[in-house]
Structure 1
Amino acid sequence: MHILGIETSCDETAAAVVAADGTILSNVVFSQLDEHTPYGGVVPEIAARAHLDHIEAVVKAALDQSGIGWDRIDAVAATTGPGLIGGVIVGATVAKALAMVQDKPFVAVNHLEGHALTCRLTDDVAFPYLLLLVSGGHSQILIVGGVGRYKRLGSTIDDAVGEAFDKTAKMLGLGFPGGPAVEQAAKSGDPTRFDLPRPLMGRPGADFSFSGLKTAVRNTVERLPDPITDQDLADVAASFQAAVADVLADRMKNAIAEFRAAHPEGDTLVIAGGVAANQAIRARLSTLTDKLNMRTVAPPLKLCTDNGAMIAWAGLERFRLGKSDGFDAVCRPRWPLDTMEPA
């Protein structure tokens, strides 16, 4: 079985062909970084136009690189939400058109489920497992009970952690995208120089809050003596990253206790989403899970950010369970995972 997957929910135009045994036959990603960098963030209208400009070439490249023809493609999957709705519509419409012309089933994929199930593509993780989903738009902790079966234990009450990284990078003049820029700057910084807050740390539950931390970073930058040195910026970046890692570890400790109470056999924490590429955060959470006798799984860096392979795989997981969708499948800007089925 082979699935063509198309992803256009934000600022990557991506397509991939994946086989049922987990072999990624192709995984083509066109990044719109150059288009959005002048604005310091993703501009939805520009993203939608760029998807229109590049999707045909990206899909063709994915099919060509896969080395197989349409006779061996069993279904076409595409992100139908959540995301920037203009981009979502572009990818879903192209996927539906291809499926219709080639007489193939169409599978509508929740973008977040693509991230959630990538660990099964890369590491064959068994259900149930605990998922920390952290990206520019999402910060959630969920129990993954099966394909389409999720229970949310916590989420952000204001800003997503990836957004906090982007805004911090902008305040420090580090450029876009913010996550990699802050991580790079933090490598030469002192994480103890600035005493930044750890919102909600030590409190019950597994919810996050990053708005106050973001404000504290702004106040810290404004108080720095003029001229601000590269070391000052590195120390702020390192202090911010350490605060985020502490908050995530604290929230995950509570979530792990709740997960184990419901699923004593569960032994795996999966970190997914763009922020999962941050090595300092990975290391902090691995230290936590080592102490609690759990293992931590995170996809390879190239599969943490948005890509077509994760959509193809999520589509494949759904399709082999007999799930497919009509060509009237709705595109949606919001689609919480825990509204699909309970874990």
Structure 2
Amino acid sequence: MKAIQLTQHGIEHLHLTDIPTPAFGENEVLVKTTAVALEYHDLIVVENRIPFGIPLPHIPVSEGVGIVEEVGSKVTRWKKGDRVIIPFISRWEAGRNTPYHDQLRTGFSRPGLLAAYTVQPENTLVRSPHNLTDEEAAPLPVTGLTVWATLVEQANIRAGQTILTQGSGGVSLFALQLAGTFGLKVIATTSSSEKAQRLKDMGAEEVINYRAFPEWSSEVKRLNGGTGVDVTLDVCGTDTIAQSILSVKQHGFVGLIGLLTGTRLTVDLIPLITNYIRLQAYSVGNAQELSDLVQAIEKNNIRPVVDSVFPVEKVQDAFHRFKSGQAFGKVIITF
């Protein structure tokens, strides 16, 4: 089968090659990959900027969708031709994550999805939403599920609250869309006037240029009647966490879900303690939560924002587009 196999680190070493099609067991499903979406952790895997080594050769990329090609002899839930979402954490059906599940991360400890076929367990595949194309559905197992699990399962968002989103990456745009569906007021940040207008077109009531307001937490409060927001998702880490904490009100929620500017946090504990702020790190979710997300997407016709689509032969161009920081939404690669 065709696959992108990394034999040396660096975008320039992403090349299409031929490798054996994997064998599958009696309770497993052979899935033909149709579309994958790029995540920041895919980039740092390719560029070897992670704190733990991944043996080479390696097939990268962590989220995507496909079509069932063949099923094992004991598989009852799926048949050839079914459109499915491929899980990021294999075999995490429900409940809390465990160290066992952490060993089954697609694109890390398991081969990634830049391959024509992958083998998946029957019980953690989830059907793709009927209202989405494969390109639109590709960001759901990581981007979409992380936002859903953090905002709905952890922050317990509800109508009438206010949320602060950061930038125009896939996570922040999906958070904006989901918040609008739930009836939240959205304040967004960006560094581009063009992107600011697109964020408003998507439903953001206020947009802050973080270059014009480096201490943007004060502007957040000014635009929100003098008080902080109920919830924010911090996607950058080192450079933004202090402002994220200062942007939320008493008993507010700060979700830690990104590390675009670094992984080390130096924060003042006073605002955390005196304002009873909840700081929660979270990454994706389980198959049951993903199934719930699919139902919400279908019922509300939520369509993840796609910036650009590249054929697998143009994989290096796709990664360069993603790395540029110019994308508005998800960068997709198709087979």
Q: State the TM-score, normalized to the length of structure 2.
A: 0.39
More strand by share: 2
Q: State the TM-score, normalized to the length of structure 1.
A: 0.38
RCO higher in 1 or 2 (8 Å CA, sep ≥ 6)? Answer: 1
More helix by share: 1
